[in-house]
A and B are shown apart, each in its own frame.
Chain A
Amino acid sequence: MKTYLLFALKRFIQLVAVVFAGCSVAFVVSHLSPISPVEMVIGRVSGQSSYSPEAIESLRATLTELFGLNVPLHEQYFNFLRRLVVVDFGPALIAFPRPAMQLVMLALPWTLGLLSVAVIFTWVLGNIVGGLAGYYQNSRFLKAFGIVAIGAQPIPYYIVAFLMVIIFGFLWPVLPISDGFSMNVRPGWTFEFIASVLHHSILPAASLTIVGIGTWFLGMRALVSNIVTEDYVTYAELAGVKQDRVVFSYVIRNAVVPQLTALAMALGGIFSGTIITEQVFGYPGLGSLLVRAVNGGDSALVLAVSCISVIAVASAIFIIDLAHPLIDPRVKAE
């Protein structure tokens, strides 16, 4: 138990370091921008009307202070870190003066919900089928699955997603291709709302599964085909252990550990994919928000979304890491 806590502590320090490093990079990069957030807001607030120079000057001073830009860069950085602790990124420019974090919190549940369901489902399914394919190497069905998985994997994700819109929204219009839920239900813990959310998430989730499943399938198949040559498997088979017990307890269980590590490492990439998902399916979420922020020139919101992405992905990895020793007793606090 003590070793586990030590291990957890180490991992936690790493989590903090990742968040710190990622957010610092995001801060530095976003402050290289030639576009001044102050001028963006002045542009939005003054709109098409002709302000007097004095009015603009006083607005400029107020905003400069509000954004904390009236101090040297290193002080801005320390202020940024201080506010990062309480997850405050200041006002968003495209919804001024609403806090950027509020917009992020509106979007976050959608991305988290879609991603966690799609990723877990894809991972579990890919590993089960992959494990079986590794064990039963002569199964025609599983071989065919392997070929399809290899073939689908390299298609640019955008194409897969857009093809699904065309097929299920245009040629054979059976599934919704826009929004997170339909217009005749209202958010709440009602059956209608949850059913509508699920209904609207079918296409986005399915597209993520189609492009994602190959990785897990192939990885698991390779791992299992190595493990089946191990002596203990042969021994177990000879000793008359039931076949499905051999598959799940002896083979897949041992192979699942590196797959879990791989999942932790792949999360960042999968997260990147959802930006396209949300874009193509008009699905609400962090990705849509990020694109909107970039197109609106909203540096505060871009920074907020980047930092929250870093925090979310790092936390997910942290959780998977914590689960690691519980699944595989061989992993000790190294």
Chain B
Amino acid sequence: MFSVFRDLLRYNIEFAIGCVFVGVIVIFAGLSFFSPFDPTQVYTVIPDRPPDSQHWFGTNSRGQDMFWQLTFAFRNTLGFGLTVAILSRIISIVVGLAAGYLGGWVDRVLMFFNDIFVAIPIFPILILFYFVMRSNLNSFTLALIMACFGWPFDARLIRAVTLGLRHREFTRQAVFAGMSPLKIMFEEHLPYVMPIIFATALANMIWSIGLEVTLAVLGFTNINIPTVGTTLYWANNHSAMVVGVWWWILIPVIIVIILFIGLFLLAVSLNEYIDPRSRLRRMGA
């Protein structure tokens, strides 16, 4: 695993850039543990100060230091994206492996449900959940709901890979050796789909964070928890864009773009790694 990582870093510039971008954001989010401010408090500093040496990212109209505020926002947002990614990976691995390896009616039934989930527009459903749960809809519940909708694409991919593995020699040997299907799936096949799981997890994070931002901008999340989305919600609530407090919006947007490009590049380069053809092309060319 480590050698793969090293190779990727060395030969794949996209992967290297992606690592740097995501790494910077993770460190930035980690700084929140050293923050001198409580992120839920308002009017702790002079409001509406543009970025300067004292407040690197300026202060917002709620009297919060944007640098430290954003460290919390990105910690929560990353945590949220990661939670959705992990939970939805669990579902997609189980469904994908089972459908791909067991085949037959299991496959048909699972894929039937899979396609249903693909077709359901999640946003109205999420709004419906907010409509019903209101302030009880905390980050984890939201992550759980989104995980329930965020797996079908990837389950299909995993199924496709497993389908190929089923006919490989080592699978047959394992079956003859009397390994249980469960064991084969999780010990023999899982390592092969791991790269896909990572690549899709990254894409999934982009998706879930994007949705969280959208919901929050409309005010349809718990506005007391600092996230990228609620940061924009409050900025909007204080007319930041038309009033000229541009740093309140521009800085989080830039950091989000860095994060998203980083995640995107990692996902792309992992995909390339998975598909050996394009890897050969890169080396050859």
Name which residue of chain B comes closest to A34, CB basis: B132
Instruction: Give the residues from 104 to 157 in chain A that come closer than 8 angstroms, CB to CB, to chain B.
Output: 150-151, 153-157
* Partner pick for B261 among A150, A265, A273, CB 8 A cutoff: A150
CB neighbours (8 Å) of B253 from chain A are 155-156, 159
Closest A residue to B209 using CB positions: A156
Q: Which residues of A contact B275 (CB under 8 A)?
A: 226
Query: How close is B95's CB to chain A, nearest CB, in angstroms?
Result: 16
A227 to B112, CA, bound (A): 30
Q: Which residues of B contact A14 (CB under 8 A)?
A: 112, 115-116
Q: How far is the CB of A320 from chain B (nearest CB, A)?
A: 11
B116, A265: Cβ atoms closer than 8 Å: no
Nearest-Cβ distance from residue B219 to partner chain A, whole angstroms:
9
B242 in the interface (beta carbon within 8 A): yes
Complex: how many Å from CA A166 to CA B217? Answer: 17
Interface residue range, chain A: 35 or more
Chain A residues with Cβ below 8 Å from B213 are 156, 158
A309–B264 CB distance below 8 A: no
**Quick one: closest A residue to B121, CB to CB?**
A268
- Chain B nearest CB from A299 CB (Å) reads 7
Instruction: Kindly state the separation between the CA atoms of A334 and B262 in the bound complex, as whole angstroms.
Output: 38
In the complex, chain B residues whose CB is within 8 Å of the CB of A272:
121-124, 211, 214
Return chain A residues, CB-CB under 8 Å to B214. 156-158, 272-273, 275-276
Whether the pair A18, B116 counts as a contact (CB closer than 8 A) is yes
Q: Bits for B244-285, please: 1 = Cβ < 8 Å to A, else 0.
A: 000001000100110111001000000000010110010000
Tell whether A32 is near chain B: CB-to-CB under 8 Å: yes
Interface residue B57 (Cβ < 8 Å from any Cβ of A):
no
Q: Judging by beta carbons under 8 Å apart, are A150 and B264 in contact?
A: yes
Q: How far is the CA of A150 from the CA of B115 in the complex (A)?
A: 28
A205 located at the interface, meaning its Cβ lies under 8 Å from any Cβ of chain B in the complex: no
How many whole Å from A29's CB to the nearest CB in chain B?
A: 5
Contacts of B232 in A (CB 8 A): 156, 158-159
Residues on the A chain within 8 Å of B241, using CB:
162, 166
Whether B218 is near chain A, meaning CB under 8 Å from some CB there, is yes
Picked from A22, A32, A156, A305, the residue with its CB within 8 Å of the CB of B256 is: A156
In contact, B125 and A155 (Cβ under 8 angstroms): no
* Chain A CB within 10 A, most for which of B116, B130, B241: B116
Bound-state CA distance A268–B122 (Å) is 7
- Chain B's closest residue to A21 (CB) is B116
Q: Are A154 and B118 in touch, CB under 8 angstroms?
A: no
Q: How far is the CA of A299 from the CA of B264 in the complex (A)?
A: 38
Q: Choose the segment among A59-67, A187-195, A310-318 that binds chain B (4+ C-beta atoms closer than 8 Å).
A: A310-318
Flag if B131 contacts A33 (CB, 8 Å).
yes
CB contacts under 8 Å to A, within B197-250, are 206-207, 210-211, 213-214, 217-218, 220, 228, 232, 241-242, 249
Which of B211, B241, B259 has most A Cβ within 10 Å?
B241
Alpha-carbon distance A150/B118, docked complex (angstroms) = 24
Would you call A69 an interface residue if the criterion is a C-beta within 8 Å of the partner chain's C-beta atoms? no
Q: Does B278 contact A157, Cβ atoms closer than 8 Å? A: no
- Identify A275's interface contact among B123, B210, B277, B281, CB under 8 A: B123
Chain B contacts of A29 at CB under 8 A?
125, 128-129, 132
Tell me if A25 is interfacial: C-beta within 8 Å of chain B. Answer: yes
- State A30–B124 Cα separation when bound (angstroms): 11
Identify whether the interface residues of A are mostly helix, strand, loop, or mixed: helix
The docked-state distance in angstroms from the alpha carbon of A34 to that of B277 is 55
A17 interfacial contact with B, CB 8 Å: yes
Q: What does the 1/0 interface line of A193-226 toward B look like (CB < 8 Å)?
A: 0000000000000000000000000000010011
Q: Name A22's contact: one of B119, B131, B133 (CB within 8 Å).
A: B119
Confirm or deny: B120 has a beta carbon within 8 angstroms of a beta carbon on chain A.
yes
State in angstroms the CA–CA spacing of A265 and B149 once bound together: 13
Residues of chain A within 8 A (CB-CB) of B211 are: 272
Convert A169-180 into 0s and 1s, putting 1 for each residue whose CB lies closer than 8 angstroms to a CB of B: 010000000000
A290: interface (CB < 8 Å): yes
Please state if A309 and B206 are interface contacts (CB–CB under 8 Å): no
Q: Does B31 contact A (CB under 8 A)?
A: no
Bound CA–CA A279/B261 (angstroms): 27
Query: What's the Cα separation between A128 and B207 when bound, in Å?
Result: 25
- Interface assignment of A89: CB less than 8 Å from any CB of chain B: no
- Are A268 and B257 CB-contacts (below 8 A) given A14-B112, A26-B128? no
- Shortest Cβ distance from residue A334 to the other chain B in the assembled complex, whole angstroms: 11
Residue B91 interfacial (CB < 8 Å): no
Contact of A229 among B121, B122, B153, B277 (CB under 8 A): B277
Task: Assess whether B127 is interfacial by the CB under 8 Å rule.
Answer: yes
Task: Name the contact of A310 in the complex, choosing from B112, B118, B121 (C-beta under 8 A).
Answer: B121
The complex places the Cα of A44 from the Cα of B207 at a distance, in Å, of: 39
Q: Say whether A18 contacts B218, CB under 8 Å.
A: no
Q: Please give me the residue from chain B that is nearest to A15 by CB atom.
A: B119
B120 and A25 form a contact (CB under 8 A): yes
A206 to B211, CA, bound (A): 20
10 smallest beta-carbon distances between A and B, as pairs = A154-B260, A272-B123, A268-B121, A306-B124, A18-B119, A33-B132, A156-B213, A22-B120, A158-B217, A309-B124
Given A14-B112, A32-B132, A310-B119, 9 more pairs with CB closer than 8 A:
A17-B116, A18-B116, A29-B128, A150-B261, A150-B264, A151-B261, A162-B241, A275-B123, A306-B127
Taking beta carbons and an 8 Å cutoff, which residues of A are in contact with B?
A: 14, 17-18, 21-22, 25-26, 29-30, 32-34, 150-151, 153-159, 162, 166, 170, 222, 225-226, 229, 265, 267-269, 271-273, 275-276, 279, 290-291, 294, 299, 302-303, 305-306, 309-310, 313-314, 317
**A-B residue pairs in contact (CB < 8 Å), sample of 15:** A30-B132, A150-B261, A153-B264, A155-B260, A156-B210, A156-B213, A166-B241, A222-B278, A229-B281, A265-B118, A265-B153, A268-B122, A302-B131, A306-B127, A317-B119
